[in-house]
Amino acid sequence: MAKQQIILVNKHNRKIGVAEKIKTHQKGWLHRAFSIFVFNSKRELLIQQRAKSKYHSGGIWANTVCSHPRPNETYQQAIHRRLQEEMGFDCPLKKLFCFIYKAEFTNGLIENEYDCVFIGKYNGPLKANPKEVMNYKWISLIDLKKDIKRYPNKYSIWLKIALKKMKARN
Protein backbone atom coordinates (compact mmCIF):
# COMPACT_ATOMS: atom_id res chain seq x y z
CA MET A 1 0.00 0.00 0.00
CA ALA A 2 1.30 3.45 -0.93
CA LYS A 3 2.16 5.86 1.85
CA GLN A 4 -0.51 8.47 2.40
CA GLN A 5 0.35 11.92 1.08
CA ILE A 6 -0.97 15.17 2.53
CA ILE A 7 -0.89 18.81 1.41
CA LEU A 8 1.72 21.19 2.82
CA VAL A 9 0.56 24.80 3.02
CA ASN A 10 1.75 28.24 4.08
CA LYS A 11 0.02 30.30 6.79
CA HIS A 12 -2.52 31.49 4.18
CA ASN A 13 -3.51 27.89 3.26
CA ARG A 14 -1.77 28.11 -0.11
CA LYS A 15 -0.42 24.76 -1.27
CA ILE A 16 3.39 24.70 -1.22
CA GLY A 17 3.91 20.98 -1.70
CA VAL A 18 2.97 17.43 -0.84
CA ALA A 19 4.63 15.10 1.65
CA GLU A 20 4.19 11.71 3.26
CA LYS A 21 1.82 11.94 6.26
CA ILE A 22 4.06 10.42 8.93
CA LYS A 23 7.12 12.41 7.82
CA THR A 24 5.01 15.60 7.91
CA HIS A 25 4.05 14.84 11.52
CA GLN A 26 7.63 13.93 12.47
CA LYS A 27 8.96 17.23 11.08
CA GLY A 28 6.02 19.36 12.24
CA TRP A 29 5.37 20.88 8.80
CA LEU A 30 2.24 23.01 8.38
CA HIS A 31 -0.39 21.03 6.49
CA ARG A 32 -4.04 21.15 5.48
CA ALA A 33 -6.61 19.48 7.72
CA PHE A 34 -10.30 19.61 8.58
CA SER A 35 -12.51 19.00 11.59
CA ILE A 36 -16.18 18.03 11.25
CA PHE A 37 -18.79 18.73 13.93
CA VAL A 38 -22.14 16.99 13.37
CA PHE A 39 -25.11 17.82 15.60
CA ASN A 40 -28.48 16.10 15.92
CA SER A 41 -31.90 17.72 16.31
CA LYS A 42 -31.40 17.76 20.11
CA ARG A 43 -28.35 20.01 19.53
CA GLU A 44 -26.04 17.22 20.74
CA LEU A 45 -22.61 16.83 19.16
CA LEU A 46 -21.45 13.47 17.84
CA ILE A 47 -17.97 12.82 19.25
CA GLN A 48 -15.72 9.84 18.67
CA GLN A 49 -13.07 8.07 20.71
CA ARG A 50 -10.19 7.52 18.32
CA ALA A 51 -9.08 3.93 17.79
CA LYS A 52 -6.05 2.94 19.89
CA SER A 53 -4.18 2.08 16.67
CA LYS A 54 -4.23 5.69 15.36
CA TYR A 55 -0.75 7.14 14.74
CA HIS A 56 -1.31 9.69 17.52
CA SER A 57 -3.97 10.47 20.11
CA GLY A 58 -5.31 6.90 20.10
CA GLY A 59 -8.06 6.42 22.70
CA ILE A 60 -8.63 10.19 22.95
CA TRP A 61 -12.08 11.73 22.39
CA ALA A 62 -12.36 14.09 19.43
CA ASN A 63 -15.01 15.74 17.28
CA THR A 64 -17.12 13.77 14.80
CA VAL A 65 -14.32 13.40 12.23
CA CYS A 66 -10.91 14.97 11.68
CA SER A 67 -8.56 14.24 8.82
CA HIS A 68 -6.59 15.62 5.88
CA PRO A 69 -7.55 16.24 2.26
CA ARG A 70 -5.52 14.20 -0.20
CA PRO A 71 -3.44 15.89 -2.89
CA ASN A 72 -5.74 17.03 -5.75
CA GLU A 73 -8.82 16.60 -3.50
CA THR A 74 -11.02 19.55 -2.53
CA TYR A 75 -12.21 20.11 1.02
CA GLN A 76 -15.73 19.22 -0.11
CA GLN A 77 -14.59 15.88 -1.55
CA ALA A 78 -12.46 15.09 1.50
CA ILE A 79 -15.00 15.93 4.23
CA HIS A 80 -17.72 13.78 2.69
CA ARG A 81 -15.29 10.92 1.95
CA ARG A 82 -13.99 10.81 5.53
CA LEU A 83 -17.41 11.23 7.17
CA GLN A 84 -18.57 8.17 5.23
CA GLU A 85 -15.34 6.21 5.85
CA GLU A 86 -15.18 6.87 9.60
CA MET A 87 -18.81 7.16 10.71
CA GLY A 88 -20.73 5.40 7.92
CA PHE A 89 -23.01 8.28 6.93
CA ASP A 90 -22.99 11.56 5.04
CA CYS A 91 -24.85 14.85 5.47
CA PRO A 92 -24.65 18.42 4.19
CA LEU A 93 -21.72 20.32 5.73
CA LYS A 94 -20.81 24.00 5.72
CA LYS A 95 -17.51 25.67 6.53
CA LEU A 96 -17.48 27.81 9.69
CA PHE A 97 -13.86 28.99 9.99
CA CYS A 98 -10.22 27.92 9.83
CA PHE A 99 -7.41 28.17 12.37
CA ILE A 100 -3.78 27.16 12.78
CA TYR A 101 -2.55 25.23 15.77
CA LYS A 102 0.60 23.36 16.69
CA ALA A 103 0.85 20.59 19.29
CA GLU A 104 3.51 18.02 20.20
CA PHE A 105 2.49 14.54 21.32
CA THR A 106 4.12 12.13 23.75
CA ASN A 107 5.15 9.83 20.87
CA GLY A 108 7.24 12.63 19.31
CA LEU A 109 4.81 13.49 16.50
CA ILE A 110 3.82 17.09 15.89
CA GLU A 111 0.52 18.42 14.58
CA ASN A 112 0.95 21.73 12.77
CA GLU A 113 -2.33 22.17 11.02
CA TYR A 114 -4.27 24.67 9.01
CA ASP A 115 -7.56 23.22 10.23
CA CYS A 116 -10.89 24.17 8.63
CA VAL A 117 -14.01 23.48 10.70
CA PHE A 118 -17.18 22.19 9.05
CA ILE A 119 -20.58 21.77 10.70
CA GLY A 120 -23.59 19.63 9.82
CA LYS A 121 -26.84 18.16 11.12
CA TYR A 122 -27.79 14.48 11.07
CA ASN A 123 -30.35 12.27 12.83
CA GLY A 124 -30.07 8.95 11.02
CA PRO A 125 -28.22 5.71 11.68
CA LEU A 126 -24.45 5.50 11.67
CA LYS A 127 -21.91 2.73 11.46
CA ALA A 128 -18.55 3.68 12.91
CA ASN A 129 -15.50 2.06 11.33
CA PRO A 130 -13.71 0.08 14.11
CA LYS A 131 -10.34 0.71 12.42
CA GLU A 132 -10.87 4.44 13.00
CA VAL A 133 -13.26 4.70 15.95
CA MET A 134 -13.32 2.73 19.20
CA ASN A 135 -16.43 4.43 20.61
CA TYR A 136 -18.79 7.33 19.92
CA LYS A 137 -21.62 9.20 21.59
CA TRP A 138 -23.95 12.15 21.24
CA ILE A 139 -23.39 14.76 23.96
CA SER A 140 -24.68 18.25 24.76
CA LEU A 141 -22.11 21.02 24.50
CA ILE A 142 -22.76 21.91 28.16
CA ASP A 143 -21.95 18.35 29.29
CA LEU A 144 -18.97 18.12 26.94
CA LYS A 145 -17.45 21.37 28.22
CA LYS A 146 -17.95 20.25 31.84
CA ASP A 147 -16.23 16.93 31.11
CA ILE A 148 -13.36 18.65 29.29
CA LYS A 149 -12.86 20.89 32.31
CA ARG A 150 -12.78 17.87 34.66
CA TYR A 151 -10.75 15.54 32.40
CA PRO A 152 -8.85 17.67 29.86
CA ASN A 153 -6.45 14.85 28.91
CA LYS A 154 -9.33 12.68 27.64
CA TYR A 155 -9.92 15.11 24.75
CA SER A 156 -7.95 16.13 21.67
CA ILE A 157 -6.23 19.49 21.56
CA TRP A 158 -7.93 20.40 18.27
CA LEU A 159 -11.40 19.68 19.72
CA LYS A 160 -10.73 21.97 22.68
CA ILE A 161 -9.40 24.78 20.47
CA ALA A 162 -12.23 24.51 17.93
CA LEU A 163 -14.90 24.56 20.67
CA LYS A 164 -13.42 27.77 22.12
CA LYS A 165 -13.36 29.35 18.67
CA MET A 166 -16.95 28.24 17.99
CA LYS A 167 -18.07 29.83 21.28
CA ALA A 168 -16.24 33.07 20.43
CA ARG A 169 -18.17 33.26 17.15
CA ASN A 170 -21.58 33.07 18.87
Q: 5-169 domain in CATH 3.90.79.10?
A: yes
Residue 66 falls in the annotated catalytic set: yes
Question: C-alpha distances in angstroms, 79 versus 10, 117, 142?
Answer: 21, 10, 26
Dump pLDDT digits (tens) for 70-88.
Answer: 999 999 999 999 999 999 9
Active-site choice (73, 91, 111, 113): 113
Separation CA 104–CA 152 (nearest Å):
16
Dump pLDDT digits (tens) for 46-69.
Answer: 999 987 666 556 678 999 999 999
Name the packing angle between helices 157-169 and 141-150 (round to 10°).
130
Dump pLDDT digits (tens) for 86-105.
Answer: 999 999 999 999 999 998 88
Structural contact between residues 33 and 99, judged by C-beta atoms closer than 8 angstroms: no
